[in-house]
Structure 1
């Protein structure tokens, strides 16, 4: 059912307040209008494009700064961070990330997003992955938005070891899971053994 323009724009604003991570493509499908119509609606309503919305959300929800990596070393965009507790990142899969033959995302991109998020959530200057157990649940394709959520197992927090669980989803469907056993040190020096 096609809605009148003003009603669609009102609902667009409400929908993006609830979920600012929606792409113009997903919004066009939701409202059954063209992507161009969504872009025009956003402009008229002064709703920023996705990247700007992500930055706004990140600035409101970041409870600490990434210590263990430079931001340009993180795969995906971190939009929520609470050191030694939880983190969330978003990674948009493009044609550059998939196999040409079948259009499926190369696994190392999903692993890199999850692993860099596990490192970033550490409240330490030095954090290294000691061991990981990963599971690819279903294929990811170009155009998919992968949302990775990392949670630190509080019981696992020790002087130099921590377990971080990461679950990656596309449209709320799990596509990847991983357990990342992290080595950490507060003095910045590597110990005898990892």
Structure 2
């Protein structure tokens, strides 16, 4: 159903408030308008683009929760975290993250996203990577969105080690898997 501009902008504001992670493409489909119309509406309403919204929500929501490193040192944007249990982050692959000749993401960016998520999920002031066993299962290209999920498998308080599995996906397809052994300061 087509709406007039004022109505559409009111609904757009509410929709983004309810779901700050909604894309311009999804909004365009929802309101039966072009992506350009959505971008112009957001501009008029001073609503930032998705990347900035994610960053703002993550900083506001998780800055007090993440203990092991500053939120701005995490590669990707944390969208969910439960310390010593699980965490999820999003990383959008841009031109600065890829090889120029083939637009394939440099592996260290995918590793950094996974490793920083493994550090962030630890409920301690200090968490360091002692060991990582990683596997890249497919190439990631420019403009793809990588969703990394960390799961704490085991905490050994005697040795101060935490075992974290991180799996990364593009459109529900596994692209990276890492098993991390993390050292924490509290035993």
1:84 is displaced (CA, Å) by: 0.9
Paired position in structure 1 for 2:99: 99
> How far apart are the structure 2 equivalents of 1:57 and 1:91?
15
Q: Tell me the residue number matched to 1:158.
A: 157
State the superposition RMSD in angstroms. 3.1
Per the TM alignment, residue 133 of structure 1 is displaced from its structure 2 partner at its CA by: 1.4
For residue 119 of structure 1, give the secondary structure of its aligned residue in structure 2: helix
Bigger mean CA offset, 23-32 vs 47-56: 23-32
Q: Which segments of 5 or more consecutive residues in structure 2 lack a partner in the other structure?
A: none
Q: TM-score, normalised by structure 1?
A: 0.76
Cα distance change of structure 1 residues 68 and 38 upon mapping to structure 2, 3 Å threshold: same
Show the counterpart of 1:178. Answer: 178
Relative to structure 2, which stretch is displaced further, 66-75 or 161-170?
66-75
The answer on whether the counterparts of 2:63 and 2:71 sit within 8 Å (CA) in structure 1 is no
CA contact under 8 A between 2:62 and 2:71: conserved in structure 1?
A: no
Is the contact made by 1:64 and 1:81 (CA closer than 8 Å) also made in structure 2? Answer: no
Q: CA distance change for structure 1 residues 142 and 18 in 2, over 3 Å: closer, same or farther?
A: farther
Distance, in Å, in 2 between the alignment partners of 1:141 and 1:11 is 34
Q: TM-score, normalised by structure 2?
A: 0.78
C-alpha displacement of 1:31: 7.4
1:142 and 2:142 matched: yes
**Structure 1: segments with no counterpart, 5+ residues:** 188-194
